[in-house]
Structure 1
């Protein structure tokens, strides 16, 4: 048999799996030792067997893989398999291949399932955050609308002072509940490390300031009415810029807005 015919006959695959007779095995081994093309084809078939096993058996340990690889000796010479005349042994090879294919298929299904679950959980988390943000925004809008429309609220306009003449603010003070809301949307965003502090003022007999809250959430929070601590008997309100955490007394050089009730 010519070498090209031998390669195309399928006998080399049977040789690799040890399914040829002793005479045929010896003949193929002799040809392989003399012909590089036949030898390379046998090595290629052996490598395909290794690749098939490793690709569909991801749990195959490195130790077992190296043991098989050493047994086949695919990098140096042709493997000399012993001939097997018992058809049950051939069936065993096929059963093992089917088993490996099945394991690989199930492993891939499991991995794909885990990835899909992770993706769904991420989408669920992102959706929950979006819903939470929308609910918070809706509550802020509803609260602001209710405060503005409440006839029991006294609106105190606070004008800009020397440090920031263009600044302004509004205080919504409910005489029945004593609740106080601040519209700080016309104040500049406070610098890093600084906050606005709101003061309830008694003007007589002496100026007596009482801190009723901080505005420390910068730009986004200042777009809506901000609730601070309630107050009783206020005669005026002021807002100063203070270090983070606030001050015990107002820094008059940093007085941004001021207004009388």
Structure 2
């Protein structure tokens, strides 16, 4: 390729911008050493970029300008006059295009990062809303349980541990007017797999008569361990036994965990 063909092809501009491959860069550098016209063209392109960059950058002092000029002279051994204005405009167009592409790339990166931050904030907001709703539900449960405990119309019946589990205990909150009944089972151990606690309302005379009023299902899931059971019409005592999953028709007395009189 002739020198003029190199100049008109735009290859020298790509060389100055550092956009050529390593082998192409070596080829142009070697050619510039032996061809004055190529060397001068490269210098003219570099000067055009420096001139354009100065228009976008803060003002340089004379000293800084002389340093830049000295570096150019040091690189190429001599400094020649600028090409005519038409060539300068051409190079300025190339440089402006590169600056514009860089600007667009930077803005695209910023937009992508902004979208990512917005997405992250959205996920955090959703997570906080879920946690807030969960805490609100738990707070409502606590308030409800406190209402049960504080209701002076509820008769509190303490159930003590029996032979199978002496350290166990529970408490019944029974409203004789509304017949609603709640069991506080916080003093019972976790039931074995396949087993469930069953609550019995007991009549003691003339004979012992147990009536099932409910199972303490989902024992692990109930954090407060306060369970609502069936309405109780009449009871002289309450007991809790450990039964197979699904409950039993009659209490297994060997598995009587707690018992207490009204």
Which residue of structure 2 lines up, in the alignment, with residue 110 of structure 1?
A: 111
Cα-to-partner distance string for 1:60-94 (whole Å, 9 max, x where unaligned): xxxxxxxxxxxxxxxxxxxxxxxxx8555434432
Name which of 209, 212, 216 aligns with 2:211.
Answer: 209
Which residue of structure 2 lines up, in the alignment, with residue 174 of structure 1?
A: 175
Q: CA RMSD in A?
A: 3.4
Distance apart, 1:153 and its partner CA: 1.1
Which residue of structure 2 lines up, in the alignment, with residue 247 of structure 1?
A: 247
Cα separation, 2, equivalents of 1:163 and 1:27? 96
Cα separation, 2, equivalents of 1:27 and 1:100? 25
Distance apart, 1:169 and its partner CA: 0.7
Report the TM-score when normalising by structure 2.
0.59
**Cα–Cα, structure 1 residues 212 and 13, in superposed 2: closer, same or farther, change >3 Å?**
same
Cα separation, 2, equivalents of 1:106 and 1:243? 67
- The 5-angstrom pairing of residues 68-87 of structure 1 reads 86-87=87-88
Compare CA radii of gyration and give the structure with the larger one. 2
- The 5-angstrom pairing of residues 17-166 of structure 1 reads 17=16, 28-30=29-31, 86-87=87-88, 89-166=90-167
Q: CA contact under 8 A between 1:171 and 1:181: conserved in structure 2?
A: yes
Structure 1 unaligned blocks of 5 or more = 1-11, 19-25, 34-84
Cα-to-partner distance string for 1:131-159 (whole Å, 9 max, x where unaligned): 23432343233223322222221222212
**Cα–Cα, structure 1 residues 104 and 241, in superposed 2: closer, same or farther, change >3 Å?**
farther
Report the TM-score when normalising by structure 1.
0.59
Cα-to-partner distance string for 1:159-210 (whole Å, 9 max, x where unaligned): 2122101111110011122111111121123345543232333455552332
Cα separation, 1, equivalents of 2:208 and 2:214? 19
**Cα–Cα, structure 1 residues 162 and 113, in superposed 2: closer, same or farther, change >3 Å?**
same
Q: CA contact under 8 A between 1:190 and 1:218: conserved in structure 2?
A: no
- 1:225 has 2:226 as partner: yes
Q: CA contact under 8 A between 1:212 and 1:230: conserved in structure 2?
A: no
Find the residue that maps to 2:103 and give its secondary structure: helix
Cα-to-partner distance string for 1:4-38 (whole Å, 9 max, x where unaligned): xxxxxxxx9757159xxxxxxx98543579xxxxx
Find the residue that maps to 2:165 and give its secondary structure: coil
Q: CA contact under 8 A between 1:200 and 1:209: conserved in structure 2?
A: yes
Structure 2 unaligned blocks of 5 or more = 1-10, 18-26, 35-85
